[in-house]
Structure 1
């Protein structure tokens, strides 16, 4: 390995390889195609990241030389951070391309020039079709968590991306599980790949250092039960997984009301709020992260001691990835799964598929003695966190990044809004509205010249083709007789009659003629 990469990894505390890395690095460094399969949390990121960085031609010309495709935004940020740490002494330019952020900033980064692009399929295709992302010089392509991309429906997008990159390239595919469609994709687009499996069988996907507890719990008692579990001895950072976005937000709000420093990550939140929650969780400002399965893939956070499945996962693969957030990098962890009565059949399938031997979870409530014994919960624990233990800063202490376009400018006052209005002109002269008094009536300027320059000119009125000038002074609207007379006191011409349908312009109305004659007499 390149000495600068070794030095960067050593500064991060990484000095030895895991099994998947030891088996993958010799082949990947030679440029061969690789299919890497290993359980989550065993270092697959550096298994492809180190060869990718070492095979770059530096300094580059600004055109991307390597492309890493990931299924989720959170995993994109995680992989980007890992590669930046490993290549910080090489001067590698890395760009993260994913949805939820404005296009402009990502296009600007690509125009400045990058060496490695890491992104989600949808945004990568958008920028590639707009000719902002050039894929013609990609020498290394990585598909990370390929089975998750299959589950999310990204397989057609992946095939389109594979057809855009050059045929002469190194392709590496990494995942914890290898379903049939992914193997078919690998055989189609990879050139004589070597399939590396770090475990002997699928059941080995579950960490030996992760202690698993499964309880049958009623949905109405789950909030109280979880609140007591979060007060267990030795609990550090904790992740709680739900199946739905609404449940995730509800659980996070309930825990916050009970005094815990909790945050939520799910699809209904904006990208700024999702990144804010992850930053607060990594920095320790919040110690409970409630998330849907969007955060179950590849999120590597140090010191996650407990994982709680608030709702039973859909299948065994989701279960493996959820509990894989703890017990990472050789550390021990605790995984707790709460199974409702209607979820027992689904859990039985997961237990049988993984060989866990827990087909029937024990019925458990927030007051059950074995719950306190299993998890080391103090006997005096209640459903609320004591005030003396509320030491976390909370989510509000982490600033949310503003992507622009959604917030009103702070200095936007009514006066400044009026000053930004378009200036109106007529005949080359600026038009400004006449001033108003408190009563709402228009008032003229004290000087005639100023009034002519500043007041808006009135529309010229005509009657029978003859220009008509309205009177300058008006009496009270109630006095109709006076209000219709001008300065001379003479009655003005009667208002024009509205022409009726079917009446020509020159036609005469007998009634109107008689009335006019009588008036003339």
Structure 2
């Protein structure tokens, strides 16, 4: 496999990105200058995106020419549009000339594989924004939701599918998702898919896609396994490294970092003061475990903050409810496990707090990458307990940071207040005058027909395809309406149809006993009946 490499130059002023129009600088390169179709450029400008980041500026001409790409850039520097624009520009939409001549119109022409549900939602949203005026249809396919709506969307016809490996593979095995017409494939956050153990599923998906496709692989880091994957499945790729040679740090330069050694018992009080820093906007608090995330969110709510939790023990509807409330400003603090470290791209996140020391340097980078995005500035705060000092020192050395020995810090420490610009009179409870957010309860919980939830047990079972999460079918069974339409009667439905009086009436069971001697029946002995009362 030939490998060409392109590295970002070291520009005098920082290059532009997907900035808001009001922030545009005169020397930036616009998407129109890079050959993007006017309809796509108009759609991006309508949401305030005008100029290109380095990864976009370097990738778009190569991708639009049909080359395979290995793209690497720091978290938060615009990789989504770097592959999203080529997709929505090169697929044929229903209104395009030549769409009817496709071998099977309405079957997916492009596939984007991502590691997490939250990232699938975010990527699909960006693709819809870029391709909306062209009429490009985008489907989100991921676990935790009922199969039926996703299957129905695929049957109606889509041009682009964005999904997680497990659900994509399930639908492909069922024959619902046809990958034989995919001409563009994107593997986004490949290093995260490797860490989560999705590599075998990704390879099975790749085996279902025809050769001759264009493949774009994007990742914040490039471990050897990801490079090996690229060498196996990409054809003469161009490697695009959009890191500035003058910026050797692994972290984004405009993210201000603080590391404090904090006692576990003082963290709730310390965190409450941190959240009252002047100029603080939206905040994401990362926790190591699901239980800690739930407890921290509950504690912050009791202290008067508008907080919501996102972790694996919540249903997908609850997770999306919390994310919508966060994006809409109904809550301004999101407490999350690493499930949210990828895919949350919310404008206005000014602070990220690591409630505990991250597991490794990659986790640290992805967490603090939720702030300081798209050219904005941000603050990252890490609280390291005494037991985690060694782990933090390993992270510090790997990233070349200057916090090898974190300063011992308490909620009343003067340096904490001065470094983070916290008012001196701040207490551990948010003043009532500042409790202006509507809160999580103001956001509706969407009924997603979720799979995998614990429901009242029915002996009739459920058919494949995620109908276990279909609330309407569960209600029909509990209601005892009899036939489900298939004509088959199940033990569970029959039991529900039985009269209640019969269920409560005591029943007697009789059984015959035959006399035996040494295990052999006695000839001519009559059988005896034994009555056993039953409840």
Q: Is TM more than 0.5 here?
A: yes
Please, which of 276, 285, 295 is the counterpart of residue 250 of structure 1?
295
For 2:379, which of 309, 324, 334 is the aligned residue? 334
1:109 paired with 2:153, answer yes
Q: Point out the more displaced range, 275-284 or 105-114.
A: 105-114
- Number of positions where the alignment pairs a residue of Structure 1 with one of Structure 2: 441
The answer to whether the Cα contact below 8 Å between 1:75 and 1:297 also exists between their aligned partners in 2 is yes
SS in 2 for 1:92: coil
Other-structure match for 1:403: 448
Q: Does 1:21 align with 2:65?
A: no
Whole-Å separation in 2 of the counterparts to 1:433 and 1:156: 49
Match in the other structure for 1:380:
425
Match of 1:309 in 2: 354
What's the Cα RMSD here? Answer: 2.8
- Partners of 1:137 and 1:400 in 2: CA distance: 36
Of 61, 66, 75, the match for 1:40: 75
Call closer, same or farther: CA 1:435–1:261 in 2, change over 3 Å.
Answer: closer
Cα deviation, 1:32-69, whole Å, max 9, x if unaligned, reads 00111000111100000000111112224111000000
> Structure 1 pair 93/421, CA: closer, same or farther in 2 (3 Å)?
closer
1:190-201 matched pairs, under 5 angstroms: 190-200=234-244
In the TM superposition, residue 163 of structure 1 has moved relative to its aligned partner by: 1.2
Please name the residue that 2:206 is paired with: 162
Measured in 2, the distance between the counterparts of 1:245 and 1:307 equals 18
The alpha carbon displacement at 1:294 in A equals 1.1
1:70 aligns with one of 86, 109, 114: 114
CA distance 1:52–1:380, change in 2 (3 Å): same
The CA distance in 2 between the partners of 1:110 and 1:77, in whole Å, is 16
What TM-score, normalized to structure 1? 0.80
Unaligned runs of 5+ in 2: 1-35, 100-104, 450-467, 490-496, 506-511, 529-535
SS at match of 2:374: helix
Structure 2 residue 92 is the aligned partner of structure 1 residue 57: yes
Following superposition, the deviation at residue 208 of structure 1 comes to: 1.2
Is the 1:307–1:334 contact (alpha carbons within 8 Å) kept by the matching residues of 2? yes
8 A Cα contact 1:258 1:383, kept in partner: yes
> Which is greater in Rg?
1
In structure 2, how many angstroms separate the alpha carbons of the residues matched to 1:23 and 1:166?
27
1:293 to 338, 343, 358: 338
- 2:392 corresponds to 1:357: no
Q: Is the alpha carbon distance of 1:146 and 1:504 closer, same or farther for their aligned partners in structure 2, counting shifts above 3 Å?
A: same
Cα distance in 2, alignment partners of residues 227 and 506 from structure 1: 85
How far the C-alpha of 1:309 sits from its partner, in A, is 0.5
Matched, 1:265 2:300: no
Give the TM-score taking structure 2 as reference length.
0.78
In 2, the alpha carbon distance for the partners of 1:508 and 1:367 equals 87
Is contact 2:93-2:137 (8 Å) kept?
Answer: no
2:456 alignment partner in structure 1: none
**Structure 1: gaps of 5 or more residues:** 425-431, 442-496, 510-521
Change (3 A) 1:408 1:192: closer
Q: CA deviation at 1:176?
A: 0.7
Residue 219 of structure 2 is aligned with which of 175, 198, 207?
Answer: 175
Say whether the 8 Å CA contact 1:203–1:355 is kept in structure 2. no
